[in-house]
Structure 1
Amino acid sequence: MIREYQPQDLKRIMAIWLQGNEQAHNFIRPDFFKQNSAIVEMLIPMSTVYVQDIDGVKGFIGLTENYISGLFVDPHFRRKGTGKALIEKAKQRHNELLVHVYKKNNDAIAFFLSQNFEIVSESINEETNESEWLLRCNVEHNVRIGKCAL
């Protein structure tokens, strides 16, 4: 079941966030995410967050307007539809979705491309000095054909 974030979810969300970042971004110095976790913990309640709750939080998506500020899934629930379900929830709420993905994060890039996102630009992340892509998905509601149609 996908539902809105509740304050009691924060500890589990932060554990999934930290583990996911450390696993997916082994090209970034290991302490970077730990150093930024307090900021993220403060920002989560200010964002629109949906969680996949199957006997506890198994994944989440954080949105700031139509920008995906985070999509993380517990390693045991990856490749089982959790990420796709969270993206579908975001597509129900927005006509366009944007997300930055590190160019070296091949799994995330493949996932977003499989969800009909397109690469629109490349830049350097100022905090990590790593190359990242901006991906966009145009959502066409109530239409059967077209990119990202619901």
Structure 2
Amino acid sequence: MIRQARPEDTEAILNVWLLASLQAHDFVPAAYWWRQQEQMRARYLPSAEVWVCEREGEVQGFIALAGDYLVALFVRPDCQKKGIGKALMATAKRLRRQLTLKVFCENDIAVHFYRRHGFAITEEHLDPGTGQPQLCMDYDSP
């Protein structure tokens, strides 16, 4: 079930984010992700519209939107390849006609996922926090 996040979901969302970030971004030192947890808790999640995918009473993935910007789409590693990301993306597209996001170039799985869902690369730049190249991608509803 996909539903809007509640305050009591925060710890589960942070757990999903950390586990998925560590797995998907192994080219960034793990310490970077551990240090970002408080920013996620105090800054990013409270300022975003967050939706979770809950199955069997557990948060297994989430999306976070700030206006038309897709701040985050993460699925717990042990729950991937089960359609959760696809369902979360469908929710984002239902909520917004246009979406923009940033994704690390080396995160091939995510880049392909977003391309399959109609996103196009608009530019590339270096992420200031990690020094890693990132792609900016846009989606416009047909």
TM bracket (short chain)? over 0.9
Post-superposition Cα deviations, 1:4-54, rounded to whole Å, max 9, x if no partner, equal 000111111111100111111111111001111101011212210000011
Map of 1:93 onto structure 2: 95
Map of 1:11 onto structure 2: 11
Which runs of structure 2 are paired with 1:113-128 in the superposition (5 Å)?
A: 113-128=115-130
Post-superposition Cα deviations, 1:46-69, rounded to whole Å, max 9, x if no partner, equal 210000011211100011111111
Mark the runs of 5 or more structure 2 residues left unpaired by the alignment: none
**Conservation of the 8 A alpha-carbon contact between 1:50 and 1:60:** yes
TM-score by length of 2: 0.95
Mark the runs of 5 or more structure 1 residues left unpaired by the alignment: 141-150
Aligned partners of 1:47, 1:105: CA distance in 2, in Å? 23
Q: Do residues 66 (structure 1) and 98 (structure 2) align?
A: no
Post-superposition Cα deviations, 1:64-118, rounded to whole Å, max 9, x if no partner, equal 1111111110122211110111111111111111110000000100111111111
Give the RMSD, CA atoms, in angstroms.
0.9
Map of 1:84 onto structure 2: 86
Map of 1:29 onto structure 2: 29
Greater Rg, structure 1 or structure 2? 1
Which runs of structure 2 are paired with 1:19-58 in the superposition (5 Å)?
A: 19-42=19-42, 43-55=44-56, 56-58=58-60
What is the letter of the counterpart of residue 69 of structure 1? V
Post-superposition Cα deviations, 1:108-137, rounded to whole Å, max 9, x if no partner, equal 001111111111110111111110000111
User: Helix, strand or coil: the match of 1:45?
Assistant: coil
TM-score by length of 1: 0.90
What is the letter of the counterpart of residue 114 of structure 2? F
**Conservation of the 8 A alpha-carbon contact between 1:7 and 1:45:** no
